[in-house]
A and B are shown apart, each in its own frame.
Chain A
Amino acid sequence: MAVLTRAPSVQWRVEEHREEKALEVLADPDRLGEDPDVMELGTVTILAGGVMHQLNLLGGRIWTLCDGTRDRAAVLDELLGVFEVDRQTLSRDLDEFLADMIGKGLIREEE
């Protein structure tokens, strides 16, 4: 099993207030009108090599799930419990996100 792990040298945290707000809107999309940008807010902040990255709700969820215990399929299963999106679409989003993060050296996929 090729598990996904965050690069150990990276500092990161969950932006709890933003995540809470984004989850509220996810559960009740009518509230999106209150703050149209909320789903793009960074819910995870990453500091790597002096650069700050912000991940939106989906990216932030993937990031937190990459804790060295799950492979892609397991991460996808967890995401399907949070996001009401079909498996194929979510799988594509996951692959895109991982390609970007692996390319930046922020996530590793190792046997």
Chain B
Amino acid sequence: MKRNDGLLSAPLTINWSLSYDCNFSCSHCYSRDLGDGGLPREEIFRIADLLAAKGVMFVNFGGGEPLVYGNLFDVAAYASGAGLKVTMNSNGFLLERRAAAEIARAGFHSVGISIDSPVREVHDRFRNMPGSFDRALAALDHLREAGVPSTVSCVVNRLNVNNWDGMIALCSDHGAETLYLHNYKCTGMGLANMGGLDLSPEEWGRFYAGALEIQRAVNDITISFDDPIMAAVPGHDPRTAVPGSTCGKLSLHLKPNGDLTPCGFIPVVIGNILEDELDDIWFYSPVLQSMRAKTPQGKCDGCESYKTCLGGCTARVFALTGTFDQPDPHCWIEEEDRDG
């Protein structure tokens, strides 16, 4: 099989779930029912060495809640000592002053805190955890005090679509540098609850058009998106590093047992980092190859945004259609309008 020389030599980022254990049960969680066992410390250290040797630049701990995982600081310190830039996504509930100091000591590059609404009650309901909003804000304050850069991650959904911009002031007030607006993924609990939480394609179109205007007007924090279908917003030049989804092109997901998947939202195992050569998986996995070489189907065929969008978010397409190539179900472009 021919190696794809157009690909980067290795993933830039590994999204690493050290464990799926969590202190929350959020309405959109993709990992609620995944119970893969973890690895011994030595194996985890071996993985960190291997990733560093392959030139992986970033390791982002997720899960599960990373702060529930007992050896997080050890692993993070080891990984950053090996030359990896270490980050994590946390719900912030356990991130008290002492944890923030440990995070700083372990060499974390930055920490993302999940906040899904500027309204306390709405966030707490979405996260199914009373008090979680206040603890998330306190986590940002503790990180700032400890000198650790922070960001805020927000999953766009029906409960926050009309007032998400209230999060901008919240980020400024609590020292978060970037607000990441994530598209709603229909995996795990996200699939089970999509009826009440996901937006319609037209609503996604309106949301992105409005959010881009706000992004242009805001200077003190960065507003960042991760949805390839934004290419379809008129006049928008996404200037992304790669066309379409980044998973399988810039990043991979590592499960607690060492299995690799293209991303956390695509539960297809493509190999095991301790048993298989990372190069073999990265360059030759048939699953990755088909994700990277999509064929436009349906309304994507002939769409002028296809070059940049590549049919949208591969994880969402896969979750809802079982294939990689179908048009993103969130896409608001109508074939008739386009052709007319």
Contacts and interface: CB of A to CB of B under 8 A. Distances in A.
A21 B9 CA distance: 11
A18 B9 contact: yes
B5 A17 contact: yes
A45 B6 contact: no
A79 to B, nearest CB: 22
Contact of A47 (B55, B57, B222): B57
B3 interface: yes
A52 B9 contact: no
Given A50-B222, A52-B241, A21 B55 contact: no
Interface residues of B, number: 16
Contact of A13 (B3, B57, B224, B250): B57
A41 B6 contact: yes
B3 A14 contact: no
B3 A17 contact: yes
Interface string A26-53: 0000000001011001100101001010
B77 to A, nearest CB: 19
B5 A13 contact: no
A45 B241 CA distance: 11
Contacts of B7: 17
Interface string B1-17: 00101111100100000
A37 B7 CA distance: 12
A47 B8 CA distance: 13
A11 B85 contact: yes
Given A17-B3, A42-B8, A45-B8, 20 more contacts: A11-B58, A11-B85, A13-B55, A13-B57, A15-B9, A16-B9, A16-B55, A17-B5, A17-B7, A18-B5, A18-B8, A18-B9, A21-B5, A35-B5, A37-B6, A41-B6, A47-B12, A50-B178, A50-B222, A50-B224
Interface of B: 3, 5-9, 12, 55, 57-58, 85, 178, 222, 224, 241, 250
